[in-house]
Amino acid sequence: MVWERSSERLFIGGQWVKPTGSERIEIVNPNTERAFAEVPSGSEADIDRAVAAARSAFDNGPWPRMSLEDRSAVFERLSALIGEHRNEIADLVTDEMGCPITLSLGMQATTPKLLVDNFLAMSKDYPWRTVRESTTGRALVLREPVGVVAAVIPWNNPMVIALMKLTPALLAGSTAVLKPAPETPLDSNLLAELMKQAGLPDGVVNIVPAGREVSEYLVTHAGVDKVAFTGSTAAGRRVAELCTPLMKRVTLELGGKSAAVILEDADFGAVAESLRIGSFRNSGQVCSLKTRLVVPRSRQAEFIDAFTAMVDTMPVGDPKDPATQIGPMVSARQRDRVEGYIQSGRAEGAKVVRGGGRPAGLTNGWFVEPTIFTEVESGMKIAQEEIFGPVVTVIAYDDEDDAIRIANDSVYGLNGSIFTADPAHGVQLASRIRTGTVEVNGSPVGFTAPIGGFKSSGFGREAGPEGFDAYVELKTVGLPRDLELAG
């Protein structure tokens, strides 16, 4: 496979075609602050071409009419190719957005294959066709592909989130236009090459990197049946505003300000180690991270000692160094945003016990030290708004009811954790936390369970068998009682 990072073309209709305009997107390495590649910035005319290609592939092409087994065979080949290119994917995403390379080899490059494999396994048992009998009638219930999907993804976990949407959509028989973030379009272009090599028919997936205005044009396009968006809550509200008048199907996976409720009986050393990943994964640039640490007032000092000791073991630096655990922010703008929140926390009276600035000795790169705030009140800005950087707040509680109140004191409801020596009690408390996911003692939920948010964290679910639900339309066919169906 011949593939180059920089490109002068867009992937539309199964081919690399010239863009209609001349605007370009420079891809800047957040560690060196230097541009290392560029791609075309798509225009509205390019979106028209991409949607037309996806529309034709859905309305007239073979993909929706193939058997599930034949579509699955394409994704089996794709899974193998992703595995073969694991190192290249990891290296590419690290260069694009600064994810530490050790994490990229796992989260950014290994997870895509696992995700595809899980969807393939779950698709075999998904109820694509069921017959329902009752005294009042007999019905064939079909789950048919939703049509043309506009998949709009962020920069922080790009290939994983792309495949979180594309895999169930395409296995269901839909087609798609993928709009990657301007910061990370290169891994989407690599994915296009891998899909083409796997045998995906022309037009089934089309990829157009673009800015905000062109993205809005895509989600409102008359040829798009369904919008699947992952990003900030502010951007998600805008997508919902645009789609609602058009009666367009939409799912939104948005921001979070997740709480880790740490009970008095918890092992603080084990909790701190779990939060190494649970609070600081991808340098704090993950929506599901536990950034509000709700700790018993009676043991607050003990917890802070354990937690700061753990943070002191997290090297900050070059994301290509395997030892690095905290890399740069994705952009100068993102670093400015994070630093603004740190300044706000100080102004509101919270105390910085670790970090709070830029790491010494790093003259290049958009770095922020991992930062811990204590003496935080739940209503403070740093405890209410998503920062999307390596900044956590420690909030003290008096009893379990107070802890649950603090955990729920948020407009968000994406994720959360309960840490306790009594996991069964943790499961009971999980029912009181208003979030889409609650992890007991940091236990991951895997890809066979649905993920998504309550409240301002969005609506709809991804992963699990429920991940297919967003990409199908239900159709009911009334059947004569004496009709025998084949298959």
- DSSP per-residue codes, 68-132: HHHHHHHHHHHHHHHHHTHHHHHHHHHHHH---HHHIIIIITTHHHHHHHHHHHHHTTS-SEEEE
Distance CA 339, CA 346 (A): 11
Amino acid at 40: P
- Among residues 99, 183, 287, 386, the one annotated as catalytic is 287
Whose tokens are 């001349």? That residue is: 22
- The helix/strand/coil state of 132 is strand
Q: Do the beta carbons of residue 223 and residue 55 sit within 8 Å?
A: yes
Residue 2 makes CB contacts below 8 A (sequence gap 6+) with: none
3-state secondary structure at position 71? helix
- 224-253, pLDDT tens digit by residue? 999 999 999 999 999 999 999 999 999 999
pLDDT in the model for residue 7:
87
- The CATH number, out of the four listed (1.20.1730.10, 3.40.640.10, 3.40.50.2020, 3.40.309.10), of the domain defined by the range 258-447: 3.40.309.10
Burial of 243 (0-12, 13-18, 19+ CB in 10 A): buried
Q: Is 38 a catalytic residue?
A: no
pLDDT tens string 67-82: 999 999 999 999 999 9
List the chain pLDDT tens, one digit each, 487 residues: 556 888 899 999 999 999 999 999 999 999 999 999 999 999 999 999 999 999 999 999 999 999 999 999 999 999 999 999 999 999 999 999 999 999 999 999 999 999 999 999 999 999 999 999 999 999 999 999 999 999 999 999 999 999 999 999 999 999 999 999 999 999 999 999 999 999 999 999 999 999 999 999 999 999 999 999 999 999 999 999 999 999 999 999 999 999 999 999 999 999 999 999 999 999 999 999 999 999 999 999 999 999 999 999 999 999 999 999 999 999 999 999 999 999 999 999 999 999 999 999 999 999 999 999 999 999 999 999 999 999 999 999 999 999 999 999 999 999 999 999 999 999 999 999 999 999 999 999 999 999 999 999 999 999 999 999 999 999 999 999 999 887 6
CA-closest candidate to residue 408, choices 442, 431, 389:
431
Type and span of the H or E element at 121: helix 111-123
For tokens 């970090």, name the residue.
355
From the CB of residue 103, how many other CB atoms can be counted at a distance below 10 Å? 21
Residue 287 is among the residues annotated as catalytic for this protein:
yes
- 37 forms beta bridges with 27
Q: Which two tokens stand for residue 174?
A: 């839909």
Give the containing element (helix H, strand E) for 303: helix 300-311
Q: Give the whole-angstrom CA distance, residue 370 versus residue 269.
A: 18
How many residues does this entry show for the chain? 487
- The residues, any chain, with a CB within 8 Å of residue 484's CB and separated by 6 or more, are none
Tokens of 222: 């008359």
Q: How far is CA 157 from the centre of its chain?
A: 6
CA distance 54 to 152: 15
CB 353 within 8 A of CB 375: no
pLDDT at 78: 98
Q: What is the DSSP letter of 52?
A: H
Query: Strands, E, within 21-94: which ranges?
Result: 24-29, 34-40
Q: Which CATH class is domain 10-254+457-476?
A: alpha beta
Query: In terms of Cα–Cα distance, which of 49, 48, 25 is closest to 35?
Result: 25
| Rounded Cα–Cα distance for residues 298 and 303 (Å) | 10
Give the whole-angstrom CA distance, residue 15 versus residue 193: 10
Which pLDDT score is estimated for 304? Answer: 98
Dist CA 88 CA 187 (whole Å): 9
What's the pLDDT at 133?
Answer: 94
First to last CA, the chain: 39
CA-nearest of 216, 100, 81, 97 to 161 is: 97
Which residues, other chains included, contact 486 with Cβ-Cβ below 8 Å and sequence gap of 6+?
Answer: none
**Cα–Cα distance between 397 and 417 in angstroms, integer?**
15
> Tokens 């296995």 label which residue?
171
What amino acid occupies position 133?
A: E
DSSP at 272: H
Sign of CA dihedral 401, 269, 413, 174: negative
| Given the residues 253, 369, 386, 462, the one annotated as active site | 253
Residue 486 confidence (pLDDT): 78
Which tens digit of pLDDT belongs to each residue from 374-390? Answer: 999 999 999 999 999 99
What ranges make up the beta strands (E) of 345-437? 351-354, 371-374, 391-397, 412-413, 416-419
Helix and strand counts by DSSP (H, E) for the chain: 16, 22
Query: In the numeric block, which tokens belong to residue 369?
Result: 């030290």
Report domain extents, the chain: 10-254+457-476, 258-447
